[in-house]
Amino acid sequence: MPAKPGNLLAWSALYGALGFAVGFAFGVLRQFVLIPAFGERMGHLAEFPMVTLAACVLGIWIGGKSAAPALALGVLGVAVLIAFESAMALGFMRLSLAEYLAGYDLTRGALFPVGLALMALAPALGRRFRRR
């Protein structure tokens, strides 16, 4: 855990890294269990609520622990996650930029941006719970 409860960059880095780890774990589940069982599209649709809920629970917890500005923490955490995601997709998996960006295209049915928006807002919800 970051040493200071208000350290925005440390909490954001932690949130983004843990969010990426959660997404990676659910990605393995999707590829090896859900897609073989339900098909490509249904496997993605089945995974989405699970990974989004897990990332948001993480954000709520971090938002409740940190004194850093909650919305900034969420947005920067998502930026860290996108940096990890981009490095993995473009560098390790060797996707083309067009293939990678298609994962963000809502008009093609991509849900990833919706999950990222919810992840960005989750620490603010955690902050709200902490005040009660």
Pairwise CA distance, residues 118 & 2, whole Å:
23
Q: pLDDT per residue over 10-53, tens digit each?
A: 999 999 999 999 999 999 999 999 999 999 999 999 999 999 99
Instruction: Fill in the amino acid letter for 114.
Output: V
Q: Is residue 3 part of a domain?
A: no
pTM of the model: 0.90
Q: What mean pLDDT comes out for the span 3-15? A: 84
CB burial string 69-90: b at 16+ within 10 A, e below = bbebbbbbbbebbbebbeebbe
Report the number of distinct structural domains present in the chain: 1
Q: Is residue 100 part of a domain?
A: yes
Q: pLDDT per residue over 70-106, tens digit each?
A: 999 999 999 999 999 999 999 999 999 999 999 999 9
Q: Is residue 80 part of a domain?
A: yes
The domain in which residue 107 lies consists of: 8-131
Q: Is residue 1 part of a domain?
A: no
Q: What is the dihedral of CA 37, 103, 112, 18, to 10 degrees?
A: 90
- Check whether 5 has a pLDDT greater than 70: no
Considering only CA atoms, which of 68, 51, 58, 52 is closest in space to residue 11?
68
Predicted pLDDT at 132: 62
Q: Is residue 2 part of a domain?
A: no
Q: Is residue 98 part of a domain?
A: yes
Q: Is residue 101 part of a domain?
A: yes
Pairwise CA distance, residues 78 & 13, whole Å:
9
Q: Is residue 115 part of a domain?
A: yes
Predicted pLDDT at 129: 81
